[in-house]
Structure 1
Amino acid sequence: MRVRNKPWADGYIKAHSDYIVTDPKAWLGKWQTRFEKNQPLDVEVGTGKGQFIIQNAKAHPDINYIGVELQKSVIATALRKFMADPLPNLQFVLTDGANLDEIFLANEIQKIFLNFSDPWPKKRHAKRRLTSPNFLKTYQKVLDPQGKIEFKTDNRGLFEYTLVTMNQFPMVFDDVSLDLHHSPENDTNIETEYEEKFSPNGPIYKLIAHFKS
């Protein structure tokens, strides 16, 4: 998806460096120093415009959150939304989610959120999907042994692909929902901007899984 350039993004990011990191490798082993308290760490890969992770940080002040996003204009939009009411337990990182094992220590993350990732529908692009085996290997390195992956999508093909790759890895499924918004779990579901816009068009699929020890 083409992202419209925002000329103000560079300056805004530089002006709010206390809340956003553009050199993540320099913070390896030091992420907790950017937060008010040392707490369990959850990471969203592909944080988009920030609604999901901001609302999670508000709802769970006992957890530290990091929103990872590759697109500068997109993460700048999330940062601007966040700065309307800054929280001490949320940071943003401008980087590629494929490199989590280069910026986080082994077992450092409690939970990884993957929300409405690009489905990369063509078979030749399968390795780019955020739930492909190579990505799962990276997540396994940085997740706590008891850590979990929470995945949401409206793309049936990507959901089925993810069920297969996680099962073969192997991973254990803690929960699988074929229609999240009509399930009991929807009572505590926090929506992304994309989810709000497109959920009327069809079901939202969700799974929670962990790696076998």
Structure 2
Amino acid sequence: MRLRGRKGIQESLERQPDLVVLDPKVRKGEWAANFGNGNPIHAELGMGKGRFISELSVRNPDVNYIGVDMFDELIRRGAEKARLAHGDLPEGAGIPNLRLARFNIEYIEEMFATGEIERIYLNFSDPWPKNRHARRRLTHMNFLRKYKEILNSRGEIHFKTDSRSLFEFSLNSFADEGLRMRDISLHLHQDGLREDMVQTEYELKFYEQGMPIYRCEVVVGEEALRDHLAVLGKR
């Protein structure tokens, strides 16, 4: 993936230390302290242009959000969207419950400590359609085992994609890791755009084209699983 960024992008990111984290490894195990509260921490791995994580941070001020991507240009665009979403803030302004981290997801265990986050969002990740590239998919078992380590007892994974092949692969990966799935959808917006959910830029485009969006939630942590089973027992 190639992105043409603006001149001075590094300098721009460096001027936003309260929002942009350029060396997130140094905050491993210290994210709650950085946010200054004990609120749950949710992370979007592969945040793209940042619409999803920005809108979530506006809707849910009692949740701390971290958007992760490895490209400077996407971090810059995400920071712009975040400031606009929070009232058109100036470039140097921080947002209390949002951080944007430049990092390679392949090494996510170096960014988060054991049990440090409560939810992972995987939205429209690269499907890597060739079989020889299966290990690069963010729902491959190697990644899932890292997620299981960094998620806490209430941990969940929320997964969305437009790729049927990636969705099928992912459901099998979740099952192979012994993870329970819920709210599986093969056409999330079949009856109209789900206003109760935040959409990504890609998602809105695919919706306008009439393409199906596949989604599921994966229950990872012991407490989350216990709560899920309790709900099932009441039905």
In the alignment, is residue 163 of structure 1 matched against residue 168 of structure 2? Answer: no
Instruction: Write out aligned runs for 1:4-15 (5 A).
Output: 4-15=4-15
Tell me the residue number matched to 2:140: 132
Tell me the residue number matched to 2:51: 51
Contact 1:19-1:92 within 8 A present in 2 as well? yes
Where structure 2 has 5 or more consecutive residues not aligned to the other structure, the ranges are 87-93, 223-235
Tell me the residue number matched to 1:3: 3
- Residue 64 of structure 1 deviates from its aligned partner by 0.4
Larger mean CA deviation between 113-122 and 199-208 belongs to: 199-208
CA–CA distance in 2 between the matches of 1:143 and 1:162?
A: 18
Instruction: Write out aligned runs for 1:14-25 (5 A).
Output: 14-25=14-25
Question: Structure 1 residues 180 and 70 mapped into 2: Cα distance closer, same or farther (>3 Å)?
Answer: same
- Residue 210 of structure 1 deviates from its aligned partner by 1.6
- Residue 185 of structure 1 deviates from its aligned partner by 9.1
User: For 1:140, what is the secondary structure of its paired residue?
Assistant: helix
State TM-score, norm by structure 1. 0.94
**Which structure has the larger Rg over C-alpha atoms?**
2
State TM-score, norm by structure 2. 0.86
Instruction: Write out aligned runs for 1:101-120 (5 A).
Output: 101-120=109-128
CA–CA distance in 2 between the matches of 1:4 and 1:195?
A: 22
Root mean square deviation, CA, Å: 1.7
Tell me the residue number matched to 2:214: 205
Tell me the residue number matched to 2:63: 63
- Shift >4 Å, 4+ stretches: none
**Aligned AA for 1:166?**
F
**Aligned AA for 2:133?**
H
Cα offsets for 1:61-99 (capped at 9, x unmatched) = 110000001111111111122233353100010001122
User: For 1:42, what is the secondary structure of its paired residue?
Assistant: strand
Contact 1:98-1:138 within 8 A present in 2 as well? no
Tell me the residue number matched to 2:232: none
Tell me the residue number matched to 1:173: 181
Q: Percent identity?
A: 38
- Residue 103 of structure 1 deviates from its aligned partner by 1.5
CA–CA distance in 1 between the matches of 2:192 and 2:154?
A: 24
CA–CA distance in 2 between the matches of 1:173 and 1:39?
A: 25
Tell me the residue number matched to 2:155: 147
Question: Structure 1 residues 146 and 212 mapped into 2: Cα distance closer, same or farther (>3 Å)?
Answer: closer
